[in-house]
Amino acid sequence: MINANGIRVLEIDLNKQKIKAHNRKDLLAYLGGVGVATKLLDEYIMPEKDALDGDQPIVFAIGPMETIFPVVTKVVAMFRSPLTGELGESYAGLRLGLAMRFTGYDAIVVKGKATKPTYLVITADGVEFKNAEPLWGLTVEETGRILRRRETGSGLRSCIRIGRAGEKLISFAGVNVDTYRHFGRLGLGAVFGSKNLKAMVVKGEEGLAITDKKEYQRVYKEIYQRVVETEVMDKYHGLGTAVNVLPLNAMNGLPTKNMQAGSFAGAEEISGEAFAKHSLVRKLACSGCPIGCIHIAQVRRQFGDHYEYYTTPISYDHELVFALGSFLGIDNRDELLELIEKTELYGLDSISTGVLLGWLTEAFEKQLVREEMIGCRPAFGNASVYKEIIDRLVAMDSDFYRDLARGTWYAAAKYGGCDFAMCLGGHEMAGYHTGHAFIFGQAVGARHSHLDNAGYSIDQKLQGWDPEQVVDKIINEEIERNILNSLVICLFARNVYDRRTVVSALRAIGLDWNEESLGELGKKVFRLKRDLKEKLGYRLENIYFPQRYFETKSFTGFVEEAKIKQLMDIYKSRYYTV
């Protein structure tokens, strides 16, 4: 039976260079993944201290089905976000889930601050604390290349690391996972940097004992066939999420030029179809997934006079195409890929970077910030200027750039332009403008993310205005996603893993859950996140909705401020009754 003796937790103290291993039977009630990680974060976090205080914890967790069933490939990271000051929750795939599974640990808690730049090598036998001073200041790519050469375990290991953005404590720095995936959005890279933690190499060879192999194989085959032999997940392998660009553009749901518009004249040039035809060279899958949703393009650059070229592989998806493409008025694929590459090498979150640049461009147009502050003249469509700004952002060579490094909302609050700073709860928006449910859902979601409750999808399915239904769907979807995320199932497979399927899979590996107990788990995690957020200072009534959301027509028409208020009032009445 998987997890029969409890959840295995590895606690790492960077300051003391000590580790402890715990078997926590009490955590079995939280199943795994985000349930376990939220409970551990609640135990270790210090609400009175800043997000970048070295004493703050980072929690990584997998679920009991990790890599045992198709598309169960993710790892969740939980922390206090330096961007919002609230709950930090991020997911990444590729080999990290497999590597954690093979170490025998279900969760890893990293606390304290190393006395000098350090990287960790985590195995089933223990943890090595290694000197990362030679790696400090290197790009994400350079760091990964060196770690792969120095450390054993090729094929089984995972190398996660930060770039200069994390070292410089930029509030929206991410953590790169095996080159093409990330713990993004809410600033985990800065938390790594605050701990002098450059990287972690995770590897192991621990086996798994499945008692009822016949039942396991039956359930596995059933799920596998739904994944690969139906159309449920077809789009993710085909064009990937960049398939969304043209439909959203056609329905006026693609945020363009700092969301001054909902459609982009250059959308055809940066669509999933155009990338596939002209730039796509490879598709890659996370360990344990048969889909291959990671789409990798290449940029060709000349380095000699006699037709000498080298190529650089760069992954892309809808959110990156939106944030560094339509949102900035960039319609050249190579220029867009070069912007993605620059954020990747520095270890910046690409979405937050793009939204920040969009606000900065409009703030410059409206003369809220001046050329002498920026050092150049940002303009929609000018990729070379945006690359220059990104360089200066990471260099943090002035007070102005140090302010930008704290995120879009912080900068807008200081310099003006809050009503066109496209954030909710201090978190930069995602690549949709579909209507009331999307805006409301990102505002009230546990981490202020479109992935908390899929409001963008609710908008597209609603028929008529029913605020009670919208609130119910937002809450219920967040509860369902808490279930999936406690197993750390990739959300691309959310239509494969309904509750019946999850119950069958869990029972096949000896875990006795039913649909009702899963529902109660989802609600319990919802309440735990809610209470933890409030410890960190979150208040529903403090959420501000920038006017731009109401000024730009969406897929469902103009979003009405009065209707958003109506949704908020209904939500407040139900928030504490879940």
Q: Which domains does the chain have, with CATH numbers?
A: 7-202 (3.60.9.10), 237-410 (1.10.569.10), 427-575 (1.10.599.10)
> Which residues are paired to 202 by β-bridges?
122, 158
Nearest alpha carbon to residue 331 among 128, 339, 393, 372: 339
List b or e across 305-321, with b for residues whose CB sees 16 or more CB atoms inside 10 angstroms.
Answer: eeeeeeeeebbbbbbbb
- Tokens of residue 368, six digits: 């809220």
State residue 207's pLDDT score. 81
- Tokens of residue 9, six digits: 């937790």
Which parts of the chain sit beneath pLDDT 50? none
Give the strand pairing for 294-304 and 308-316. antiparallel
Other C-beta atoms closer than 10 Å to the C-beta of 73 total 29
Rg over alpha carbons for the chain, rounded to the nearest Å, is: 23
State residue 464's pLDDT score. 85
**Angstrom distances, CA of residue 12 to CA of 20, 112, 312:** 7, 8, 36
- Determine contact, residues 403/411, Cβ cutoff 8 Å: yes
Please give the Cα distance from 498 to 510 (Å, whole number): 19
Please give the Cα distance from 430 to 60 (Å, whole number): 24
Place of tokens 């930060």: 162
State residue 98's pLDDT score. 96
State residue 57's pLDDT score. 99
Please give the Cα distance from 290 to 310 (Å, whole number): 30
Nearest alpha carbon to residue 189 among 226, 161, 156, 159: 161
Please give the Cα distance from 319 to 352 (Å, whole number): 10
- Determine contact, residues 558/513, Cβ cutoff 8 Å: no
- Determine contact, residues 103/67, Cβ cutoff 8 Å: no
State residue 168's pLDDT score. 98
- Tokens of residue 363, six digits: 């703030």
- What is the residue type of 473? K
Check the CA dihedral 280-283-286-291 and report its sign.
positive
State residue 256's pLDDT score. 99
Please give the Cα distance from 405 to 397 (Å, whole number): 11
Sheet containing 75-80, strands listed edge to edge, beginning at the edge strand earlier in sequence: 18-24, 7-13, 107-111, 58-61, 75-80, 87-92
State residue 573's pLDDT score. 93
- Tokens of residue 408, six digits: 């879009």
- Determine contact, residues 77/58, Cβ cutoff 8 Å: yes
State residue 211's pLDDT score. 87
- Determine contact, residues 192/162, Cβ cutoff 8 Å: yes
Please give the Cα distance from 363 to 414 (Å, whole number): 12
- Determine contact, residues 243/297, Cβ cutoff 8 Å: no
Q: Where are the alpha helices (DSSP H) in 264-398?
A: 272-278, 318-324, 333-346, 350-365, 371-374, 383-395
Phi-psi region of 169 (alpha: psi -120 to 50; beta: other; left: phi over 0): left
- Tokens of residue 511, six digits: 């875990």
- What is the residue type of 13? D
